[in-house]
Amino acid sequence: MEERKARFRSLSGFDIAWVYTAEELTGWDSKTDLGAPGEFPFTRGVYPTMYRGRLWTMRQFAGFGTAEDTNRRFKYLLQHGQTGLSVAFDMPTLMGLDSDVPLAHGEVGYCGVAVSSLADMERLFDGIPLDQVTTSMTINGPAAVLFAMYLAVAERRGIPFERLGGTLQNDILKEYIAQKEWLFPPEPHIRLITDTMAYCARYVPKWHPISISGYHIREAGSTAVQELAFTLYDGLTYVEAAVKAGLAVDDFAPQLSFFFNVHNDFFEEIAKFRAARRLWAREMEQRYHPKNPRSLHLRCHAQTAGCSLMAQQPMNNVVRTTLQALAAVLGGTQSLHTNSMDETLALPTEEAVKLALRTQQVIAHESEVTNTVDPLGGSYYVESLTNRLEEGARDYFRKLDAMGGMVRAIEQGFPQREILEASQRYQREVEQKERVLVGVNEYVEPEPSRVPILKIGPEVEREQVARLSDLRKARDPFKMAGTLEELQEAASCSENLMPYLIDAVKANATLGEICAALKEVFGTYREPVVL
């Protein structure tokens, strides 16, 4: 009996009982809180048939070296059954810098693909039918510029924009909260986001102009509750900004998408996806009263937890990724990336990334978990966790509302401080062996395991620098400068910037030149000190 009375804690700090019964669901209504798949509040999924109608998109994140290097990896993945592309950009690109500036030295092509110009974007997607494959681009600060390049590539190929499908991450609030890759202050960044939302609503209807991301919030050390709360509140902040910019909620809300982490607490992660759908639907209904039911849908991509991968005994990462991927599927994701076992050491090798893809394929075709929608629906434990996650997120909503919204909270350092404290608690638990990490603080081996790793050499940077030099010599400098002046004039008023960005990239203005021109108008941002 003593063991039955013992309490255990979830990763979010919830006390977990030894068994769950109907008593745990007092006040819970199966009709209003659970419902049916495809029906409000979408706890059980946004589509009635879910994976019986269509499997999730298998979208492996990929990018390294030059555009040609990544193009080969894209084609390799597609040949092995991947169903969507996801682009990883290198650090200079993420920061809106060209590959040939001093700050980029030593970083070109290392953590993703280097893209500084329209020519790079053309090489990146050479031979890939953009109207037949959906593309996700993990880019935030300079997202609108990279999107303009992608649209310009499609235009040069004669592909109508309305046939393009994909997702632009474009979520700047989580950059201030967690990932720290911003270019401008919050207000102009949000203006760029609403510009892409308005442009997509009118011209690129199959494209998701923003992927509101909790992934990086979780990677920074947050709990599941914090990931859920800060991500959804960021989403509501973007909705409010778009409405204030004159957009009708039903014109853009069906194009919103989300991006969640999948960590180690198997049942808590399943419950997180279910709570996210329900909370988003309820908040959107209450705050904006949309007429289109699709405006209430929370559609999401998921990625297994990079921060859970361990350099010690890296083969164990295959098991971690498999369990996390299964949790995402049981939670009802629409798209999934599974991490490779070697990603904690270096960029994934072809064999490692193929095994990560095969993990999804085995779950999809051999586990039989896709046979029914939300198979854990009605579980006392899962429903209890779903309720507690929703309640915990609502507590954060109230605090953020009281602070005047997410931008004001970020300026006060509130979400940053909450994540810092959560990450410190977790680390203490690991160091004190209150949480066991196999191969790290228990079951340790004396000799480190060795696996092949992918290495990026200095030739990548040399090639990129040479290409940029050739580009600048060959282009029409007066035409290019003219497009940047027009962009700055538009940025100084309220015009939508997407057409001006497309003109600039077509005139061979580089990523760094465009971002520098916008900084002259928008200024830069300095993060508050978090104590």
Residues 36, 266, 84, 250: is their CA dihedral positive or negative? positive
> What's the pLDDT score for residue 193?
98
Residues 444-450: what's their mean pLDDT? Answer: 87
pLDDT over threshold 80, residue 93: yes
Read off the pLDDT band of 531 (50, 70, 90): low
> What's the pLDDT score for residue 3?
52
Q: Per residue in 240-252, pLDDT tens?
A: 999 999 999 999 9
Q: Per residue in 125-178, pLDDT tens?
A: 999 999 999 999 999 999 999 999 999 999 999 999 999 999 999 999 999 999
Distance CA(371)–CA(265), nearest Å, equals 23
pLDDT over threshold 90, residue 490: yes
pLDDT over threshold 70, residue 5: no
In which order are the strands placed within the sheet that holds 135-138?
Answer: 61-62, 85-88, 135-138, 166-168, 207-208
Share of the chain above pLDDT 90, in %: 91
Mean pLDDT across the chain, nearest whole number?
Answer: 95
> What's the pLDDT score for residue 385?
97
Residue 514 amino acid letter: I
Per mean pLDDT, which range of 18-22, 214-218, 277-281 is the poorest?
18-22
pLDDT over threshold 80, residue 2: no
Q: Which residue has the higher pLDDT, 29 or 232?
A: 232
Q: Which residue has the higher pLDDT, 14 or 182?
A: 182
Q: Are 333 and 301 in contact (CB under 8 A)?
A: yes
What's the 3-state SS for 272-328? HHHHHHHHHHHHHHHHHCCCCHHHHCCCEEEEECHHHCCCCCCCHHHHHHHHHHHHH
What's the 3-state SS for 312-323? CCCCHHHHHHHH
Read off the pLDDT band of 312 (50, 70, 90): very high
Residue 475 burial by CB count (10 A; 0-12/13-18/19+): exposed, middle or buried?
Answer: middle
Residue 168, strand partner residues: 137
Distance CA(420)–CA(433), nearest Å, equals 20
Q: Are 336 and 57 in contact (CB under 8 A)?
A: yes
Residue 235 amino acid letter: G
Distance CA(239)–CA(249), nearest Å, equals 7
Residues 358-384: what's their mean pLDDT? Answer: 97
Distance CA(239)–CA(173), nearest Å, equals 13
> What's the pLDDT score for residue 450?
82
Q: Are 341 and 318 in contact (CB under 8 A)?
A: yes
Write the CA distances from 175 to 190, 205, 355, 530, integer angstroms. Answer: 12, 26, 31, 15
Q: Which of 177, 179, 173, 176 is nearest to 194 (CA)?
A: 173
State the fold for domain 23-57+130-173+182-426.
TIM Barrel (3.20.20)
Q: Rounded to 5 degrees, what are φ and ψ at 381?
A: -70, -50
Residues 352, 180, 254, 133: is their CA dihedral positive or negative? negative
| Two tokens, residue 68 | 């040609």
Q: Are 387 and 33 in contact (CB under 8 A)?
A: yes
> What's the pLDDT score for residue 6?
46
**Residue bearing tokens 């900004």:** 241
- Residue ranges of the chain that CATH labels 3.20.20.240: 23-57+130-173+182-426
Task: State the DSSP H helix or E strand holding residue 16, giving kind and residue range, or none if neither.
Answer: strand 15-16
Q: Which of 274, 224, 261, 255 is nearest to 336 (CA)?
A: 261
> What's the pLDDT score for residue 291?
97
> What's the pLDDT score for residue 448?
82
Distance CA(507)–CA(518), nearest Å, equals 16
Q: Which residue has the higher pLDDT, 10 or 108?
A: 108
pLDDT over threshold 60, residue 356: yes
> What's the pLDDT score for residue 12?
86
Share of the chain above pLDDT 70, in %: 98
In the DSSP assignment, the letter for residue 161 is: G
